Chains A and B, each alone.
Chain A
Amino acid sequence: MNGLLAYISRRLGLTLLILLAVSFTVYLIFALLPYDPASLTCGKSCNDPGIIEANRHRLGYDKPFFEQYWIFIVGLFAGRDFGEGAAALHCAAPSFGYSFQQHACVTDLIFDALPVTLSLAIGSLILWLIVGVGLGIVAARFRGKIWDTLSTAFVLVGTSLPTFLTGLMLIVFLVIKLDWSPFPAGGYTAPDEDIVGWFLSMVLPWVTLAFAYAAIYTRFVRSQIIEISTEDYIRTARAKGLSDGIILGKHTMRAALAPIVTMAGLDFAGLLGGAILTEAVFNLPGMGRLSLNAVVDIDLPVIVGTTIFAAAIVVIMNAILDIVYAFIDPRVRV
């Protein structure tokens, strides 16, 4: 057990280091850009140097770079006040900053957008796992037969069709052309307001996103199964006369599970940063739209906040997966 603890603490330490490096780099990249962050805090008529300087001070852009970064990190854990006295704006921990353009704490903006992206990511994850793993198994079992060819065709179309085309075509041909279509042409309904409306508004985005991912999973699962079935213990099982179904269910899939879960975990984490194209096509106010609009408006606090948030999810998910494997498979700990 000591080995496990040592591994976990090493892994967590490493995660922390990478997180620090990523957040520092993001902060640095955007600080080096040829923008004056203070004059970006207001619109065109913000030519009044007094206002710009006041905002510069409020947002801490008047401090040296390292101090700014340090304040940012402290704000993540302790919350942060922008400005002093009665006019101060407070953002509670974890504070990712304050957007003057949107008049809101970046953390609030992220937490507004996150449920939308979560809805999208969870639904499409389920869908692509069912379709991808299912088709992958079918293709592997009926290797070289018609089912294999069909699933290959699915994979190739799925990987070669850009998401925005899939989405646009679904909207046009399944929503607008069909009079009886129950799906809306875009927009998000919160599940606590109208659960059926939420489901209907999410179906097409789920399908669009899942289509692209399912293709990758089909191919991956197929090759995993084929590779595992050549291993000795499967051959032994077959020699013992166990049926193909039992071998697949009991032995092959168990071995294939780990890599599939790893891949799914990482893809899922990546999606929480925002599925920009799907969200844009279906007009979903999620993380992708939040960050894309921030880029268009050069809303620096939001850009920095969402980027660091997205990177953190990926890094943390990576660590979780590694640690879970360390529990399951002692060899990993070395």
Chain B
Amino acid sequence: MFSKEAEQKVTGHSPRELAWRRFKSNKVAIPSLVVALLVILAVILAPLIYSLLGIDPAARDEGALDNRGEVPGDWNGISAKHPLGVVPGIGYDLLARMLFGARVSFLIALASTAITVFLGLLMGIVGGYFRGRVDGVIGRFTDFLLAFPTFFMIIALSAPTIERMEKSGLIQGNEARILYLIIIFAIFGWPYLSRIIRSQVISIRERDFVLSARALGASNFRILVKEVLPNVWTPVIIYVSLSLPGYLSAEAVFSYLGIGVQPPMPTLGTIIADSTKYMMNNSVYFFIPSLALILLVLTFNLLGDALRDALDPKSEN
């Protein structure tokens, strides 16, 4: 994507600046970054948006429904009062529900990603750096985890695990359900990252700066933290930008199958699961939450691609 001249011009700059320049020159990078930041901002500041727009995720406006629970008109009651209309049957404000739902969905996706990254980094670095027996054990363990039918295990284990968590008395209801999703996503997620990190670390440990640090008598711990860790951020950043949308849509899928958070708490997934019942009858309500999910996933995917191109130009050139 980049001409040779451009490459030559930027020589002499730090790798960070190089990456930033490559990032800026990508047509979709900046728009997707802006959208992603806006979405994250909207999710964080959701309570502020509620009060600005005068909407409330817990309030039901039954005046917006007719006597059989439907929204009169063709546009799902979109108005100044309800910017995206209302949820048919029950009268919640759709925008408020989606913002609230997105908060829960993001919480699940972000926390799963964080744990995945922690485990993947730890296992990948340890395996890649120490090699030998440790590496072998970790390698076989990832093989072992990857052999499980992940999707199915998540469903099969949900009811009994959540029951156990609730019986422990430490955590109840939706908190237990959210925690379950986070943990199980991470357990089955980290092996993928750890493989990438491992191969990265294997090449790093043979590089001059690591060899010289070792020659100077630096401890393994010091080398790992000071030399290796800063050099594996690139795959981590790329991984995060791609796994975030992955977990967002996974949450939607499991909600569709009836696993996950229960009402009255919404997630993007439970709203979509409900909206599929209105595919023909109220297509505006059907399309809005699905489009929102697609847009979210699309944005983070585009951002991830742009980051990869910028941080890891080899994959393209």
Contacts and interface: CB of A to CB of B under 8 A. Distances in A.
Touch between chains A and B, by CB atoms below 8 Å: yes
Interface of A: 14, 17-18, 21-22, 25-26, 29-30, 33-35, 143-144, 156-157, 159-165, 168-169, 172, 223, 226-227, 230, 270, 273-274, 276-277, 280, 288, 291-292, 295, 298, 303, 306-307, 310-311, 314-315, 318
A227 B315 CA distance: 6
Nearest to A29: B157
Contacts of B272: 162, 165
Contacts of A288: 152
B315 A223 contact: yes
A175 B259 CA distance: 29
Contact of A18 (B147, B153, B290, B302): B147
Nearest to A273: B149
B285 to A, nearest CB: 14
B-side interface mostly: helix
10 contacts: A17-B140, A34-B164, A156-B298, A223-B315, A227-B315, A273-B152, A306-B152, A310-B152, A311-B149, A314-B147
Nearest to A177: B280
B155 A230 contact: no
A160 B152 contact: no
Interface string B165-189: 0010000000000000000000000
B256 A276 contact: no
A291 B150 CA distance: 13
Contacts of B130: none
Kindly name the residue among A30, A143, A159 whose own CB sees the greatest number of chain B CB atoms within 10 A: A159
Residue among B149, B256, B314 with most chain A CB within 10 A: B149
Please tell me the size bucket of the interface on B: 35 or more
A156 B302 contact: yes
Contacts of B252: 162
B317 A230 contact: yes
Q: Which 4 A-B pairs have the closest CB atoms?
A: A160-B297, A310-B149, A33-B160, A273-B149
Given A18-B143, A160-B301, A162-B252, A223 B155 contact: no
B156 A311 contact: no
A144 B159 CA distance: 48
B52 interface: no
Given A18-B140, A18-B147, A35-B160, A162 B152 contact: no
A21 B143 CA distance: 11
Interface string B273-317: 000100110000000001001100110011000000000001111
A313 to B, nearest CB: 9
Contacts of A295: 152, 155-156, 159
B142 to A, nearest CB: 11
Nearest to B28: A152
Given A18-B140, A35-B160, A160-B293, 11 more contacts: A14-B140, A34-B160, A159-B297, A162-B272, A164-B253, A165-B290, A169-B279, A276-B151, A277-B253, A298-B159, A303-B156
A20 to B, nearest CB: 10
Nearest to B258: A296
Contacts of A26: 148
A34 B162 CA distance: 11
Contacts of A306: 152
Contacts of B143: 18, 315, 318
Contacts of A160: 245, 249, 293-294, 297-298, 301
Contact of B253 (A35, A162, A223): A162
Interface in B132-156: 140, 143-144, 146-149, 151-153, 155-156
Contacts of A164: 253, 256, 276
Contact of B257 (A276, A311, A318): A276
B225 interface: no
Nearest to B249: A162
Contacts of B148: 22, 26, 307, 311
Contact of A270 (B149, B280, B293, B315): B149
Given A160-B301, A162-B293, A164-B253, A22 B152 contact: no
